[in-house]
Amino acid sequence: MRNTIATAAMALALAIGHVAAAEDYASWPLLRDPFPSTGGGGIMIGGYDPVVADGRCTTGFTATTPDGTVYRNRVEFDAEPHQGGILCTRGRWRSEDGSATGTTPFRVFIKDGVRRMAME
């Protein structure tokens, strides 16, 4: 029983250490335009230029399907101070025409005017 608990504790410590190491936001790649949607399907996201104000990161953006159809949207993230910058997380998006809404796991880190994107 003790071996099982010790093994489980060690596995948990290793997992936590791996997550902490993966969260060096300054090492994330630069935010590029366009980039693939976290939803997949070949959709490309363009025009992302998050602005931080009032505890939020916001931006308009386009979602372009493989057939060239363009959807205009807005996203709002919670803005949290981390590692000397702002982490934009827990995103909520909506279409400009109000016909669709959702959430996104996508995250952006902004520090000294440089925008970086999580690759998850």
- pLDDT at residue number 22: 54
Q: How confident is the model at residue 119 (pLDDT cuts 50, 70, 90)?
A: confident
CA distances from 30 to 7, 15, 26, 34 (A): 38, 26, 9, 12
Cα–Cα distance, 51 to 76 (Å, whole number): 10
Q: What is the pLDDT of residues 23-75, one digit of tens each?
A: 899 999 999 999 999 999 999 999 999 999 999 999 999 999 999 999 999 99
Q: What is the pLDDT of residues 80-97, one digit of tens each?
A: 999 999 999 999 999 999
100 or 19: whose pLDDT is higher? 100
Half-sphere exposure of 100 (CA within 13 A, CB side): 9
Sign, CA dihedral 109-110-111-116, equals: positive
Give me the residue spans of the domains in the chain.
29-117
Closest by Cα among 50, 60, 101 to 80: 50
Mean pLDDT, rounded, for 95-102? 96
- pLDDT at residue number 21: 53
Burial of residue 69 (number of CB atoms within 10 Å: 0-12, 13-18, 19+): exposed
SS3 assignment, position 97: coil
